[in-house]
Every structure is written in structure tokens, then in C-alpha cells.
Amino acid sequence: MKIKAPYHHKLDEILADSSKFQRITKNPVDDIKRDANRIIETINAASNAPQLMLIVGDYDLGYIYGNVQTHKPGNRLRPIISQIPAPTYQIAKKLNTILIPYIPDDHSLKSSAEFTEALRMTPLGGVMTSMDVESLFKNVPVDEKAQIILDSVYRDDPTPSIKHP
């Protein structure tokens, strides 16, 4: 029990940051399902693209846990928010498969092996940066990223061929 106390304390400190987390008093799952289904119905009605599935069934809220960063002083926690039990998880996966072809490969790497190879191939004097992601997608500027995707889709590149599973 004593081993878990520091973990829980560190997780409580992360959750206490009101700029990133908000305490809720009501389970929002049904409202999220209703709102998401309204959006899905609107998209399906207006699009010739593959139809998005309505959200049906029982779901729960996402949950948070922390991975201990043993390589950092104080064994900080890296918060992980799992959305797997949430009502929007499957639709997010579907949207991901639709959007992936529009993400340019020339400025991103998919694995540490690709990063190692890029370092090996970078000429001396070149610049290579790696960014540590804080709270995964919590701090991604959504409006800016949406505009980049829209510019790529409608102004720059022809529509890529999309493979659907």
C-alpha cells in the first residue's frame, strides 16, 4: 500500500491542474453520444464519402493512468488518458484512417528506428530536433492543425487514394 501512495499523489497533482482538467459532477456519456450522433448524421447526409457509423451501445468515460518516467529526476508520471471505453473512440479511429493520407511524411517519423536512421543520414552540421509530447494530444493547437489539413486537402495536393479496411 505504501508503494501506491506516491503514485496516487503524483497523479492527483496532475489532475489538480485546472488549466488542463475539469472536475465533472454528471456523467456526460449520453450527451456525448447524442451530440456525436447528430454530427455523424449531418456528415452522412451531406457527403458521398464512406458513411460514418452511429454510436450505439453502452460506453464509459475515458480514464487516466500514469507511466513512471524512471529516467527523469523524481520519477515523474507521464499521464496517459485512455479513451478506449469512451463513445467517441471508434469514430476517432475511423476519422484517423481518413485523415492519415493527408499528413505529410517529410517532417515526421513513425518510430525510434526511423529517428535513428535519420540521425545517421543527417550531414554533420545539420539540425535535428525531437519534441517531447506533453499529455499527448492535450496541447495540440486544434484550429491550426485543422487549417493545415484543409489547406493540404483543398489547396495543395490532389486527393490521395484512401484505402478503407
Domains of the chain by residue range: 4-156
Which residue blocks in 16-88 are alpha helix, DSSP H? 29-46
Contacts 24+ apart (CB under 8 A), 99-108: 99/149, 101/160, 101/161, 101/162, 102/149, 102/152, 102/153, 102/157, 102/160, 103/149, 104/152
3-class DSSP assignment, residue 132? coil
Using the predicted structure, report yes or no on whether residue 164 has a pLDDT greater than 50.
no
Q: What is the rounded average pLDDT for all residues in the chain? A: 79
Using the predicted structure, report yes or no on whether residue 6 has a pLDDT greater than 90.
no
Only one residue has cell 517529410, namely 106
Using the predicted structure, report yes or no on whether residue 114 has a pLDDT greater than 80.
yes
Using the predicted structure, report yes or no on whether residue 79 has a pLDDT greater than 90.
no
Segment 65-69 shows an average pLDDT of 87
Q: Which three cell numbers stand for residue 128?
A: 535535428
80 versus 161: the higher-pLDDT residue is: 80
Q: Which three cell numbers stand for residue 40?
A: 455523424
All residues at 6 or more sequence positions from 52 whose CB lies less than 8 Å from its CB, including other chains: 40, 43, 44, 91, 94
Segment 72-93 shows an average pLDDT of 87
Using the predicted structure, report yes or no on whether residue 134 has a pLDDT greater than 80.
no
All residues at 6 or more sequence positions from 130 whose CB lies less than 8 Å from its CB, including other chains: 115
pTM: 0.61
Other CB atoms within 10 A of residue 79 CB: 20
Q: What is the model's pLDDT at position 129?
A: 61
Q: What is the model's pLDDT at position 163?
A: 47
pLDDT, tens only, 30-65:
999 999 999 999 988 888 776 889 999 999 999 999
